[in-house]
Amino acid sequence: MSAVIDGTQPIRFYRPNPHVRTPAMRSPEYVQMSTAAAITLGLVAGQMHRVSCTHCLNLLVTYPEGCRANCAYCGLARHREEARDYADRNFIRVDWPTARYDEVIERVQAGSDRGRFERMCISMITHPESNADTYVLLEKWVRAVPQVPVSILSNPTTLERADLVRMRDLGAEIFTVALDAATPAIFDRTRGKGVDSPHKYEKYWAAIEWAAAVFGPERFGAHLICGMGETEREILDACQRVKDLGGHNHMFAFFPERGSLMEDWPAVDRGQWRRVQLARFLIDFRGVRVDAMDFDADGRVVDFGVARAELDALIASGTPFRTSGCPGKDDDRVSACNRPYGDSSPTDILSFPFAPAAEDVAAVQRQLAGEPVRAGLLAGD
């Protein structure tokens, strides 16, 4: 049965709105989608700074009772239930409108995205119905839109190995684990016992190892957030571990999400973030090992383990500083999932959702040299 506002009209599309009573929408009938995906589908009017669209339809399962976990950096966390209904909460800096899943599929089949979606992603949450509903969403999509491959952004807390096998057999192409925290201590503090949250570091790594076996090389990965108190060496060690298993690393700059328990934390240092982006790219795509890099006493990268000329050419290409994630059709090193402004503002871009221009690269080079400059604004902006 479709949800209604005020007992009158069935809800087909809902934009987060603190001035109305949030309708009781739940998956699998309903899904939330990123604002960028809603703009690309023509469901929301709007423009994004220097980006015309996203190439990934990022979906999120939705329930009125929300996520049962309590991660300190997440806008969807349980501790927010007093302040905002689930479907109204911001997540990775943006609002997530809700739509009927069948209509989303019909729109993509009808070409409303103008062929721009190269990937669809289902984000799971910690909820007793999340596994079963993910199967339903996945199966329907693969039947209706087989030409657009699916990634699963998983919640390992509710999963067993057999669930991964089932997702693969239903047609999921890539399986990703939102590990987020680079070390056991940070994991516990931000999403485990320290915040009365059910997640366990060991279970997350077990899921990454299952994914390596079930999905195979290049078909799994981990999300990692840079800037939650870990050293550069620690997060790059985690990247190397994922790479050694055959996977890829999808990096996020820590940004204090409004309404989260960490909203007062500082955003990640720009120099730290650029070094980690660059080193992660070398590990994932150039075969450079973290042991070949040099670090100072505080775990900061001081040598990337490649010749200066090669490093300069790579920096000048701008590619390591683009949003990292699951690939699109043309280039494995470029993510279809560009998450516009999911970890930074358009006036201070940390993950570039487009190919950086020469001015952007010049700003990145100054950040790598330790200058407190911003990147992303062009002369005349």
Q: State the residues that interact with ligand SF4 by CB under 6 A.
A: 56, 58, 119, 121, 151, 153, 176, 223, 250, 325-326, 337
Could you give the C-alpha distances from 59 to 121, 179, 317, in angstroms and in order?
A: 6, 19, 31
Could you give the C-alpha distances from 42 to 139, 141, 316, in angstroms and in order?
A: 24, 19, 35
Which of 151, 155, 183 lies closest to 168, judged by CA?
151
Separation of alpha carbons 301 and 295, rounded Å: 4
Q: Would you say 191 or 233 has its CB closer to ligand SF4? A: 191
- Tokens coding 333: 């090193």
Q: Are 226 and 252 in contact (CB under 8 A)?
A: yes
Q: Would you say 11 or 56 has its CB closer to ligand SF4? A: 56
Q: How far is the CB of 69 from ligand SF4 (least distance, A)?
A: 17
Separation of alpha carbons 164 and 2, rounded Å: 30
Q: How far is the CB of 180 from ligand SF4 (least distance, A)?
A: 11
Q: Would you say 80 or 250 has its CB closer to ligand SF4? A: 250
Query: Do you find a cis peptide bond into 23, omega within 30 degrees of 0?
Result: no
Q: Would you say 207 or 363 has its CB closer to ligand SF4? A: 207
Q: How far is the CB of 326 from ligand SF4 (least distance, A)?
A: 3
Separation of alpha carbons 32 and 139, rounded Å: 18
Separation of alpha carbons 270 and 367, rounded Å: 6
Q: Would you say 153 or 170 has its CB closer to ligand SF4? A: 153
- 82's CB contacts (< 8 A; 6+ apart) are none
Q: How far is the CB of 378 from ligand SF4 (least distance, A)?
A: 26
Separation of alpha carbons 90 and 79, rounded Å: 13
Q: Are 305 and 294 in contact (CB under 8 A)?
A: yes
Return the H-helix or E-strand segment holding 32. strand 30-33
Q: How far is the CB of 243 from ligand SF4 (least distance, A)?
A: 16
β partners of residue 33: 59
What amino acid occupies position 221? G
Give me the residue whose beta carbon is nearest to ligand SF4. Answer: 325
Q: Would you say 11 or 179 has its CB closer to ligand SF4? A: 179
Q: Would you say 37 or 361 has its CB closer to ligand SF4? A: 37
Q: How far is the CB of 168 from ligand SF4 (least distance, A)?
A: 15
Q: How far is the CB of 239 from ligand SF4 (least distance, A)?
A: 14
Q: Would you say 57 or 290 has its CB closer to ligand SF4? A: 57
Q: Would you say 119 or 166 has its CB closer to ligand SF4? A: 119
Q: How far is the CB of 162 from ligand SF4 (least distance, A)?
A: 21
Q: How far is the CB of 120 from ligand SF4 (least distance, A)?
A: 8
Q: Are 342 and 91 in contact (CB under 8 A)?
A: no
